[in-house]
Amino acid sequence: MTAHTAGAARLRTGGPRDDDGPGIVEHVLGWTLVVVTAMLVVQLGLL
16 domain residue, yes or no: no
Q: What is the pTM of this model?
A: 0.53
Is 30 inside a domain boundary? yes
> Could you give the number of structural domains in the chain?
1
What is the domain extent for residue 29?
Answer: 23-47
Is residue 10 a part of any domain in this protein? Answer: no
pLDDT in tens, 8-36: 667 777 766 666 667 888 999 999 999 99
Query: Does residue 35 contact residue 41 with C-beta atoms inside 8 Å?
Result: no
Amino acid at 25: V
Q: Answer whether residue 40 is part of any domain.
A: yes
pLDDT value of position 46: 86
Q: Is 47 domain-assigned?
A: yes
Q: Per the domain annotation, does 14 fall within a domain?
A: no
Nearest-angstrom CA–CA distance, 47 and 38: 9
Please give the residue that has the higher pLDDT: either 47 or 1: 47
Burial bucket for residue 30 (CB in 10 Å: 0-12, 13-18, 19+): exposed
